[in-house]
Structures are given as structure tokens and as C-alpha cells.
Amino acid sequence: MPKVKATGDEEGERSSKRRRTEESPPPQQHLYLILDDWKLGYSIRKIDARRELPMFFATALGSRIVAMHPKEDRGNPNCGGAFFDVHTACLNFIPRHAHAAEFMPIYFSIGNKRLALGCSTMDDPSFQLDSLSWRKLPDAPFDTGEVMSYATLHDKQTITIFASVGLITEDATFSFQMAADGRSPVWRHNGEWTLPFHGPGYFVPSRNAWVGLSMYSLETGHICACDLVSASSGHGRCPSWKFSKEKLFSDDPTETHVGATLVYTGQGSRFCLLECVIIYYKYRARPYNLKEKDVYPQAFRYLYRVTTFSLRYDENGDLTTGGSRRVRYYEAPKGDVTRFVCENPVAFWM
């Protein structure tokens, strides 16, 4: 076949493609799910969504997933926690909390810092790692078991944590501010109100708001965007918020909601909602194919329903996902995942 000489535009396009090929692409991010699906520990499952789509005491820091279970064997100082780096596939060990599981810590990841609210002390200080350091902060003026919602704000000068309580005591929100200049941090009572989230609220710069799952029964399954609050705000100043027009939980009558976790991807206003649902076999049109070893088959199956979406305000100022929603299902490992993990899914975006 005769060769055809390329035009100047074609040559420029080819050169541009070669430059893009030679440049190192940014690492692709994934959704990671923590499951207690074997007797001696936990599995980290990587969920690959389509390209166009955006407790057990586990937490994340950078590219590392950290298992921080409270230590039950206080007589063994060498029995530490563990962290797994999803980029290098390396496993390393770190100190754990010194007391048993009556402590229910809440973790906050801010830059290269990991703050734990309501946890016990760490292991013996003789357990030292060059890459890790820790210090005790002032105790919270409330029982962390009563925390219903929480959120953070941070800049180059300060880190502020907001926590709302009210499961047993009166509704209240407290803030905790850490300054970069080393000043001693203190807790402050911000008012007799609570943040409107079930669990964490994520700061979304493009919306200048916190975003989380609604804690109110009438808006169950809806996303909530809440105005920011200053740590120095006076008592009684309750922020305003809006709920999304759409309900994001499953409305399939054959699926029963078990639990859900909202994950912020850090990209504009893109989110991933991980919902665990249960399906009972009696609702299926045909029975499952049972293997010979399944003498007593389960009467149900857990599924993870993953919804990716973006948030925006429409022409009326209402919060909406528009046409951005995409949904996929994943089966949980058969027979081994506990109800607790399904009610409280643990997932990270990194």
C-alpha cells in the first residue's frame, strides 16, 4: 500500500500523543471495602467501578488502610495493629490502643495526621517507630458512644473537629481546635443543636459545605448539604441545610436495607454511596443452585449496592444528583460476613 505523507496538523497530533504516552499517568483511585469474611481476620476488597464513574476499627491514612483494634491482650507488648499499603502491597505493624473494646474511637484523617476521638491510650512508649509519633490530647467533655455526627474543617493554621451528641443526653455540638503554632487545644460547646448527618460529614470545597447522609427518618437515604460553622460561633447558632431531591437508597421491594456508608472521592462534588442490602431467597423467581456440600443453605444473601454520583444545585436552588447516578451490585462473600459489618460498612477511596 502506498504511503501517504502526513500533514502538519497530523504530525502535531502524533507528537502530542507521544508526549502524553511518555508522561506518567496519575495513579488510578479505587473504592476499598473491609470485610470480616474469614475466621482469623479481615479481607481488603478492591472494587473497580467503570472509568466514567466517579466498627470494626479500621481507618485510612494516605494509601494505607490501618487496623486499630483495641488491644485485649495487655500482657503482650509485641501484639500490635497493622497497616496495609494498597499501592505497594506491603504490610507493617503499629501500636494499638491499650484497653479492651469498651472504647469506640472515631477517626479523623487530616493531612498526614490521624486523630482518634474517644480512644484509650496507645501501647507502651517503648514501642517506637521512626515514621510514627503520637501524643495525648484533652479528653472530650462527652461520651463518644453518644456521638451521632461529626465533621472537620482545616487550613494551614488550624484543624477543627465538630462532634454532635444526643443519643441519651440533650442535643449538643462541641468543637475542638488545634493550632499550627502549638497552642494547647481545647474543647468548646457550640450550642444545643446537632449536625444533620448520620455519621461523618465531608467538607466539599466546591460547595463550601459539609455533605453527608441524612440522619432524619423522613429523609432516610437522602444526601444532606449543611452550611459551615465556625468554632468560635456563639451558643444557639444552628446552621441551615438542604436535602437532595432524590433518595439514593434502593427502592427495590425485594431488597431490605441493612446499612450504608458515604465516601467522598475528593474530586469536585463526586461521591460513592456503599449500601448493604439483604435479599431473601423467597423473593427470587428461581432458587439458587446449591452445591452438594450445602446441606443447610442460607435463606438470604447480602449484596453491596454501589452508587456513584455528583451533587449540584438546580435552577431552583435545590440539591440534586441530576443524571449523574450510576449503580452496580457486588455479592458479599457467602456465609462469612457478619451482620455488624453489613450494618456498618467500612470503605475508603484512595
Contact 105, 139 (CB under 8 A): no
Q: Indicate the average pLDDT of the chain.
A: 72
* Residue 14 located in a structural domain: no
Q: What is the mean pLDDT of residues 292-315?
A: 80
Total number of domains in the chain: 1
Whether the per-residue pLDDT at 3 is higher than 60: the answer is no
Comparing 13 with 107, the larger pLDDT belongs to 107
User: Is 149:117 a contact under the CB 8 Å cutoff?
Assistant: no
pLDDT above 70: percentage of residues in the chain: 54
Per the model's pLDDT, the better-predicted residue between 105 and 16 turns out to be: 105
Inside any domain, residue 18: no
Per-residue pLDDT tens digits for 319-330: 999 999 999 998
Residue 21 within a domain? no
Residue range of the domain that includes 156:
27-127+137-349
pTM for the whole structure: 0.69
C-alpha cell recorded at residue 64 = 494505607
240, 239, 246: which is closest to 219 by C-alpha?
246
Higher pLDDT, 239 or 77: 239
**Position with higher pLDDT, 285 vs 92:** 92
- Cβ-contact 187, 175 below 8 angstroms: yes
Specify if 20 maps to a domain. no
The confidence score (pLDDT) of residue 37 equals: 58
